[in-house]
Amino acid sequence: MHSQQVTAEPPSNDSVERDSTADDVPGVLRSPASGADRAPLVFDVIIAGCGPTGATLAAELRLHDARVLVLEKETEPASFTRIVGLHIRSLELMAMRGLLDRVLQHGRRRPAGGFFAAIGKPVPKGLDSAYAYLLGIPQPVIEHLLEEHAIELGARVRRGRAVAGFEQDDEGVTVELADGERLRSRYLVGCDGGRSTVRKLLGVGFPGEPSRAETLMGEMEVGVPREEVAAKVTEIRETHQRFWLRPFGEGVYSVVVPAAGVGDRAEPPTLEDFKQQLRTIAGTDFGVHSPRWLSRFGDATRLAERYRVGRVLLAGDAAHIHPPIGGQGLNLGVQDAFNLGWKLAAQIRGWAPETLLDTYQAERHPVAEDVLDNTRAQTELLSTEPGPQAVRRLLTELMDFDEVNRHLIEKITAIGIRYDFGEGPDLLGRRLPDIEVKQGHLYGLLHRGRGLLLDRTERLAVGGWSDRVDHLADPTAALDVPCVLLRPDGHVAWIGDDQQDLDDHLSRWFGTPAN
Ligand SMILES: Cc1cc2nc3c(=O)[nH]c(=O)nc-3n(C[C@H](O)[C@H](O)[C@H](O)COP(=O)(O)OP(=O)(O)OC[C@H]3O[C@@H](n4cnc5c(N)ncnc54)[C@H](O)[C@@H]3O)c2cc1C
């Protein structure tokens, strides 16, 4: 692929660092002389896909003034109204960026318990979060809110533009669109979903298991009284976990039923398919009619072998797919984006320590492995076979132990994640909850996506890192350690009270000081 013809777009923010050789196109980064035949570096990052992962990543990059272009294949946002669950860690991240109030207006809070393999248990005691609930929200709504936020921060989103090819060199990536247009950026991130074009073109392996069990899911009205539906559902769910009719407001039900025996996978399911499956399992089709949308999904489970090849990275479903049980996929992708955004921005701004960008894969690949495993386990627990049913009964008993219940819920809600930052107290590598500080709540101080030194000793300093790390001296902070250094994603990067040790860790995470 050649890259002579490039569309020059004005930069979205003037404060982005520029190459001193930039000349005739205002704000355009020029390749150095050795790359004279290469196109100008118009963007810092091109993101393929404006789903929840791509939109979140765009916003995180914009917090650091990176010039971001999001290319989205579809001309219009999705119209189906599938409800997804935002789990505790994602809600915390929304609070950390000042987005939570906006998101809460559109969702419905539910208890943060009872969703591991749909085993009905109460919320475990002692979930250490100010946001210990599940927020049900239609996927298109959360996607819209995330995209709107990214645009407000200055990201460009171009719809109806599919990434079809790319070529990387030592200075950047030339991205080719389906219509033949070519664009140039320093980095490309594939947030283009489970069938990711970027991943396939990179040649990154996607090993795992193909789909074994297919499920129909849709929204429609029912023709029988609510009590009748509820009674039948309770009866059927004693043996069939992949089955529900859940009221969704205004007479509409969310319907889930196994797709076994329903014809061609390539064809969208019909209302008749739903009726037939409902009759097979429940002995009645509940008089379903007037479908809003109908879909089918499988339980394929796959994980990309690598998250980065040179200047091209993968995030979200492009990097991992798994069954929707436990409602983790969107959450996982959004959290990938929070992990990657500040690191990629640091690379672009020129202060990233040499290995920082590679910590993205080192930290997030194991998290995805763990999610894949818990969905494999949950899928087994939904089987109607006697063996898995017996294991389910046993686990149901075990979950009466609060610690077991909490362990599983912390896994699914992602508040149990601890990145491996080396030896240290248990808090090292974990996220810090939204503790009280003298200005109010900690997360209110993290809206700009910078690092934070939370200092109860009042005698430490961030010195030459003050352009990227804030300092809050607060002896009253609700911490039981003297000081913590927080990364922009809210994970604890250092604990201690010694300035030299702090400086070493500031260097490790935030590079060379500015002065
Ligand atoms: C039935 C069901 C229920 C679910 N429930 C939950 C839940 O409760 N909680 C949860 O966390 N997750 C849930 N999920 C999973 C969740 O929907 C996905 O994990 C999430 O959408 C992944 O986000 P993403 O941005 O990584 O990818 P996607 O949402 O797939 O977005 C990728 C985007 O890239 C675009 N694109 C594709 N190719 C290109 C290209 N070549 N160029 C440019 N753009 C391109 C696509 O049009 C799309 O907009 C559920 C999934 C299913 C099927």
| Residues 236-267: tens digit of each pLDDT | 988 887 898 988 777 889 899 999 877 777 78
Q: How far is the CA of 111 from the centre of ligand 1 (A)?
A: 24
86 token code pair: 């935002």
Q: Residue range 304-309: average pLDDT?
A: 98
Listed range (7-11, 92-96, 269-273) with the worst mean pLDDT: 7-11
Q: How far is the CA of 329 from the centre of ligand 1 (A)?
A: 8
User: What was the pLDDT predicted at 40?
Assistant: 65
Listed range (80-89, 278-287, 403-412, 483-492) with the worst mean pLDDT: 80-89
DSSP 306-348: -SEETTEEE-GGGTEE---TTS-HHHHHHHHHHHHHHHHHHHH
User: What was the pLDDT predicted at 23?
Assistant: 31
The residue whose CB lies within 8 Å of the most ligand 1 atoms, and thus the one to mutate among 56, 71, 73, 163, is 73
User: What was the pLDDT predicted at 213?
Assistant: 86
Contact between residue 509 and residue 489 where contact means Cβ atoms under 8 Å apart = no
Q: How far is the CA of 139 from the centre of ligand 1 (A)?
A: 9
107 token code pair: 């969702």
Helix (H) or strand (E) holding 235: helix 226-237
Alpha carbons 195 and 246: distance in angstroms, whole number: 30
Alpha carbons 164 and 469: distance in angstroms, whole number: 38
Q: Residue range 443-459: average pLDDT?
A: 97
Of 301, 318, 270, 309, nearest in space to 73 by CA: 318
The residue whose CB lies within 8 Å of the most ligand 1 atoms, and thus the one to mutate among 46, 143, 312, 317, is 317
Please list every protein residue whose CB sits less than 6 Å from any atom of ligand 1: 48-54, 71-74, 82, 84-85, 139, 162-163, 191-193, 197, 217, 297, 316-317, 324, 327-331, 333
User: What was the pLDDT predicted at 39?
Assistant: 60
pLDDT tops 70 at residue 3: no
Cβ count within 10 A of residue 219: 20
Contact between residue 222 and residue 229 where contact means Cβ atoms under 8 Å apart = yes
Using a cut of 0.85, tell me whether the model's pTM lies above it. yes
Helix (H) or strand (E) holding 94: helix 88-96
Q: How far is the CA of 443 from the centre of ligand 1 (A)?
A: 27
The residue whose CB lies within 8 Å of the most ligand 1 atoms, and thus the one to mutate among 139, 185, 294, 297, is 139
3-state secondary structure 375-388: HHHHHHHCCCCHHH
Contact between residue 92 and residue 443 where contact means Cβ atoms under 8 Å apart = yes
- Kindly compute the dihedral angle of the four CA atoms of residues 140, 250, 291, 299, in this order, to the nearest 10 degrees: 50
Of 500, 428, 485, 419, nearest in space to 452 by CA: 485
The secondary structure of residue 28, as a DSSP letter, is P
Q: Residue range 263-292: average pLDDT?
A: 91
Q: Residue range 334-353: average pLDDT?
A: 97
Alpha carbons 257 and 254: distance in angstroms, whole number: 10
pLDDT tops 80 at residue 346: yes
Location of structure tokens 């607060």: 474
pLDDT per residue over 91-146, tens digit each? 999 999 999 999 999 999 999 988 899 898 999 998 999 999 999 999 999 999 99
* Packed helices 386-398 and 358-381: angle between N→C axes, nearest 10 degrees: 110
Q: How far is the CA of 163 from the centre of ligand 1 (A)?
A: 16
Contact between residue 351 and residue 334 where contact means Cβ atoms under 8 Å apart = no
Listed range (22-31, 97-106, 281-290, 414-423) with the worst mean pLDDT: 22-31
Type of residue found at 382 = L
Alpha carbons 21 and 38: distance in angstroms, whole number: 14
Order of all β-strands in the sheet with 83-86: 83-86, 133-138, 108-111
Alpha carbons 318 and 57: distance in angstroms, whole number: 14
Sign of the torsion angle spanned by Cα atoms 118, 124, 127, 133 = positive
pLDDT category at 2 given cuts 50, 70, 90 is very low
The residue whose CA has the least distance to atom 49 of ligand 1 is 51
- Which numbered atom of ligand 1 lies nearest the CA of 48? 43
Alpha carbons 281 and 276: distance in angstroms, whole number: 9
Q: How far is the CA of 146 from the centre of ligand 1 (A)?
A: 13
Of 18, 77, 72, 30, nearest in space to 47 by CA: 72
pLDDT per residue over 12-57, tens digit each? 333 333 222 223 333 333 333 344 445 666 899 999 999 999 999 9
pLDDT category at 307 given cuts 50, 70, 90 is very high
Alpha carbons 486 and 479: distance in angstroms, whole number: 13
User: What was the pLDDT predicted at 71?
Assistant: 98
pLDDT tops 80 at residue 84: yes
What is the percentage of the chain residues whose pLDDT exceeds 70? Answer: 92
Give Cα 490 distance to the centre of its chain. Answer: 15
